[in-house]
A and B are shown apart, each in its own frame.
Chain A
Amino acid sequence: MESQTRRAPGVCIPWEGKERELPPLTGDLELVRKIWEEIDLFAYIFIWHCLVSF
């Protein structure tokens, strides 16, 4: 299901924006991205469950 809205489903602060804030990484970029997106998803779940469940 395609989203036409500004922030994709599952995302609060897109990694692409966050990545630009970081200094050149010395290590594993993918690891940083993965963890960023996992924790960001928690915020997404929080706000949408506030609306839908609570």
Chain B
Amino acid sequence: MTGLEQLWVSQFRTALAKRPAATREWCFPSELALGVTLSHSEATTAVTQT
């Protein structure tokens, strides 16, 4: 990992470790996802597409 990645991961680990276990289980997500979706449609507008 690069230095920036190590800093990023360590900051999340620190934030996680400070939380009580029950709160950690409830509130802190296990995953963070970023997605991009592209589509092409033969409908003329978004309004008319079903």
A binds B: no
Chain B interfacial positions (CB closer than 8 Å to A): none
A residues at B contact (CB < 8 Å): none
